[in-house]
A and B are shown apart, each in its own frame.
Chain A
Amino acid sequence: MRWLRLQMRAGLRAARQMARQPFNTLLAALVVGIAAALPATGYMLLGNLQRLAGNVSAAPEISVFMRPEAAPDVVKATQPRIASLAAGARIELIPREAALKRFRDNDALAEILDALPENPFADAFIVRLDDADAAQLEALREKLTALPDVEHVQLDSAWAKRLDAMIALGRQALLMLGGVLGLGLVAVTFNTIRLQLLTQRDEIEVSRLLGATDAWIRRPFHWFGALQGLLGGLLAGALTLAATHALAVPVAGLAGLYSLEFVLHPLDPLAWAVLLGLCATLGLLGASASVRRHLSRIA
């Protein structure tokens, strides 16, 4: 109880000290906020990309293109063969005439198609699987390629796999960036607390004369670092939120070009909590290191 009371008082002292210098406090928090906003925004974007890739990977598709000269009865016989290889898959035949009609509907392509002597499209099957991992898909692709009169088999989820790989790379880069900026955040707090110690040198000396323990002197500085980190975290969260709103319309437009309905999601409550907790902890670490380093020099 006494410990809690002392902590609360130290926290109040730190908050008062911050309120006494609002401009300096805001400036320091802004530096922390910008440093934390970069990885936070990166995390938010990666999370959204992952969601996008997850949605696509959840329904993998395989396109099976027949040879143009394949006889109709061979094409017809191919469907049950595919069904036997891909159990439970939904198989849709897209006849070459239907493909031609679909492209003719596009004015720009219609002229090009008219110039061609014959229908360039082949009969094709779209194989939709409910669930399959990359290895299963690859094995199925090989089997489908071996079917009679099949010219080409395309994994339509390949781009999602590439996206997954890019996300993994991005996550790694984000971790490194977060680590470096986290160190920067610790350094910023270290320096702020060093200046605070110099500013409050008289008070520290007098407090020691009056019987203050090192813990009593250290406590408000620890709180100062943690509160500054927390404030910086809040600013970082706000900047990330602003980025989400600013990017929402262009991202939706881009998704529309790929016939996707995609809404950019902001940081969820858990991510907010992690961001604030991490910033406060890093601030506390910076303050703790600074106090340990500099307090002993104040006699």
Chain B
Amino acid sequence: MIRFEQVTKRYPGGHTALDAFDCDIERGEMVVLSGHSGAGKSTVLRLLAVLERPSQGRVLVGGEDVSALRRAALPWWRRSIGLVMQDQRLLFDRSAFENVMLPLSISGHPPREATARVQAALERVGLAGRDTSMPVELSGGEQQRLSIARAIVNRPQILLADEPTAHLDDAYARDIADLFRSFNDAGVTVLLTTHDDALFAGHAPRRLVLSQGKLQ
């Protein structure tokens, strides 16, 4: 389903984040990317979400080269994936409900259906009843759950998460890891990065370790 073909990402300063990276991910698979800081984990996700373009190589999804998508086609690609950023990127002047509603507003869902989906997503991540809360009123773990609810509300087939357990204590981190496992059990292809190898040890059938932009 997802294929990285000899992907190299080189930044203008000369730093090489990925070096001839090859990888295949099957539909419904859960893959955990680990490695030290600067190993290129986040770059893999950013290339797949087409937040960046590779310097060389191709990123194929279902046979289509997403790295060659025209700018005008990018929004539709991004609507088809779920993206959980390391810094969550929540809107702090909006309620939990409004944050999760944003992707549905963007894709133009009818209000009644959108409301039901938002409620379901909040319930799915354990935030039922917190829809009127502002992000600042939520704990770190709850904020991360909220960003996950926003990522899944569009029911994506591919879920990308960049260090979703960073800055969380062990209990919260385990909850989040379980949540991703449950999404994968429901058939969603999950690709996430972590620097905590042990956390996802029992969850992911496949772990890829990156070092200096190459698979180990």
Contact = CB atoms under 8 A, between A and B. Distances in A.
Given A2-B108, A6-B108, A207 B102 contact: yes
Given A210-B102, A211-B103, A213-B75, A202 B51 contact: no
Interface stretch (B76-84, B118-126, B166-174, B191-199): B76-84
B79 A211 contact: yes
Interface in A1-48: 2, 5-6, 9
Contact of A203 (B72, B78, B79, B91): B91
Which of A6, A209, A210, A213 counts the most chain B CB atoms within 10 A? A210
A21 to B, nearest CB: 11
A2 to B, nearest CB: 7
A5 B78 contact: no
A34 to B, nearest CB: 31
B108 A210 contact: no
Contacts of B76: 211
Contacts of B106: 207, 210-212, 216
B89 A209 contact: yes
A211 B108 CA distance: 11
Contacts of A2: 108
A97 interface: no
Nearest to B107: A211
28 contacts: A6-B108, A202-B89, A202-B91, A203-B91, A206-B89, A206-B91, A206-B102, A207-B102, A207-B106, A208-B75, A208-B78, A209-B83, A210-B78, A210-B83, A210-B102, A210-B106, A210-B150, A211-B74, A211-B75, A211-B76, A211-B77, A211-B78, A211-B80, A211-B106, A211-B107, A212-B75, A212-B106, A213-B75
Interface string B95-115: 000000011011110000000
Nearest to B77: A211
Contacts of A213: 72, 75
Contacts of B51: 209
A202 B77 CA distance: 21
B108 A5 contact: yes
A2 B49 CA distance: 27
B152 interface: no
B210 to A, nearest CB: 23
A205 interface: yes
Interface size class of B (residues with CB under 8 A): 20 to 34
A209 B77 CA distance: 10
Interface in B141-199: 150
A206 B106 CA distance: 11
A166 B5 CA distance: 78
B3 to A, nearest CB: 22
B85 interface: yes
A230 to B, nearest CB: 24
A198 to B, nearest CB: 14
B79 A210 contact: yes
Contacts of A6: 108
A214 to B, nearest CB: 8
B103 A210 contact: yes
Nearest to B51: A209
A202 B89 CA distance: 8
Interface string A177-218: 000000000000000000000000011011111111100100
Given A202-B91, A209-B83, A209-B85, A9 B75 contact: no
A254 B106 CA distance: 61
A2 B75 CA distance: 17
Interface string B58-90: 000000000000001011111110010100010
Nearest to A13: B105
B72 to A, nearest CB: 8
Q: Nearest 10 pairs between A and B by C-beta?
A: A211-B79, A211-B78, A211-B75, A213-B75, A210-B103, A212-B106, A206-B89, A210-B106, A211-B106, A203-B91
Contacts of B78: 208-211
Contacts of A212: 75, 106
Contacts of A202: 89, 91
A210 B106 CA distance: 8
